[in-house]
Amino acid sequence: MRLRAVPVTLCAFALLAVAAYVATALGSRGGELTLELDWPHRLFAGADRGLAAVIAELRAPRVAAAALTGAALAVAGLVLQGVSRNPLADPFLLGVSGGAGVVVVALYAVPSVIPTLGWWIVPVGAFAGAQAATALVLTLSRGPRGRVTVLGLILGGVVVNAFCAAIMTVLLVSLEPLRLRFASFWLAGGVSSAEWGQIAIAAIGVGVASVFMWARGGAINAFGLGEEGAGLVGVDTRRLLRESAWAASLLTGLAVSLSGMVGYVGLIVPHAVRLLVGGDVRANVPLAAASGALILVVGDAAARSVISPAELPVGVLTALIGTPILFVLIRREMRRGA
């Protein structure tokens, strides 16, 4: 049974608000978990200024970053799956993961760069690497007469990712074992380093890109007729493909700069959304954003709780949470079809 998009979207936003509230209440001390459900009070009127600082400067930004990351990845995946009609399209296809990963591993490889310049160099570097990789993909994927095609994008992305992976391997091997571990954990994805300035910038970027793709959603739907078919109903496919690639790359680059490489969200959330409410890309953008945000807020809360005080890379959890959900949804679909 297909549900209607609007009520489901409102529901998702409501759930997101609840999850964000609870996630901000979740803390840890030494080796134990704590739950301060009255955190707004403690934040503004509480006597423990230290705790207030922890909530305002560490916990809240982390929850915000998780939400933004999830939203960005989900929308990017939705857009890419929409233009490519490929259910395996993932935001990291456009070379983003390779580009970001190479830059970050390189930063870890040169000792004392990060401590000297400050942690900010990592998110900025990740973002820059992501965009550079996408530019490379777009150049490589240019077909005859300079046309950008979906197939070209996918192939170009595969090539760039493979190339970056090779460089990363060389760099990783040169790292001291402990630094190797640090770099690997960053690569595995972990929310929490962002601070409000970075979050504000990311929020603007994610917001603008999402609204932009929401407006393009109707045209993206036309890709259901194939690339040529979309052209026949008035879509400037070359331009739309380029715009979609850049928007997806921007969204994914921002996500990676906030939280490292968090996989599965960009792949699974669009699927789940489509299975629930159908394939209208335009209607699905807000729902995908809310769902992605929800999943990652919950995932991050879990990542810092399951083996507390140690933290699990959230990318591991997104795989664990996301895969069974996808399984269930696909089975529903298969049963409906039969």
Partner 1 sequence: MTLLETRELVCGYGARAVVDAGSFLLEAGESVSIIGLNGAGKSTCLRTICGQLPPLAGDVLVNGRSVAALAPRERARSIAFLPQHAEIDLGLSVEELVRLGRTPYLGRFGHLGPDDARQVEIAMELCRVRGLRGARLGELSGGERQRARLAMVLAQEAPVVLLDEPTSHLDVVQRFALHGVLAEMRERRKTAFVIVSHAIADAERFGDSVILIKDGKAGHLGPSKRGAVRAALVAAAGIPEEWVY
Partner 2 sequence: MVRGVTMTVGAIAVAAWAACNSTGEGAVPSGSPAVGSVRLTDALGRTVALPRPASRIAALAPGFVESLFAIGCGDRVILRDTWSDFPAPGVDRIPKVDGVQVSVRNVAGFSPDLAILFADDGRNADAFERIGVPVAVLHPDTYAQVAADLVKLGALCGREADARREAEAMLAVRDEVARGISASQRPSVYVEIDGSDPTRPWTAGPGSFVAELVELAGGRNAVTGIPGGYAQISAESIIRAAPDFVLLAHDGLAGRDAAAEILRRRGWSSLGAASRGRVIADIDGDLLSRPGPRLADGLRRLAAALRARSAADGGVP
Binding site for partner 1 (CB under 8 A): 85, 214-219, 221-222, 224-226, 228-236, 278-280, 282
Determine the Cα–Cα distance for residues 127 and 135; give it in Å rounded to an integer.
Answer: 12
Q: Residue 219 touches which of partner 1, partner 2, none (CB < 5 to 8 A by kind)?
A: partner 1
Extract the tokens encoding 246: 């850049």
Q: Residue 242 touches which of partner 1, partner 2, none (CB < 5 to 8 A by kind)?
A: none
**Per rule CB under 8 A, is residue 47 in the interface with partner 2?**
no
Q: Looking at beta carbons only, is 224 or 309 nearer to partner 1?
A: 224
Determine the Cα–Cα distance for residues 93 and 137; give it in Å rounded to an integer.
Answer: 10
Q: Looking at beta carbons only, is 307 or 338 nearer to partner 1?
A: 338
Element of type H or E holding 174: none
Q: Residue 59 touches which of partner 1, partner 2, none (CB < 5 to 8 A by kind)?
A: partner 2
Place of tokens 């209440």: 25
Extract the tokens encoding 187: 């690569």
The angle, 0 to 180 degrees and rounded to 10, between the axes of the packed helices 314-337 and 281-303 is 140
The residues pairing with 33 across neighbouring beta strands, listed in sequence order, are: 28
Sites for partner 2 among residues 85-144 (CB under 8 A) = 112, 114-115, 119, 122
Number of residues that bind partner 2 (CB under 8 A): 39
Q: How far is the CB of 110 from partner 2 (least distance, A)?
A: 12
Segment lying near partner 2 (by CB under 8 A), choices 71-79, 129-137, 159-167, 191-199: 191-199
By CB atoms closer than 10 A (0-12, 13-18, 19+), residue 291 is buried
Q: What is the dihedral of CA 330, 227, 137, 174, to 10 degrees?
A: 20
* Binding stretches for partner 2 (CB under 8 A): 27-31, 34, 49-51, 53-54, 56-59, 62, 112, 114-115, 119, 122, 173, 176-178, 181-182, 185-186, 190, 192-193, 195, 304, 307-311
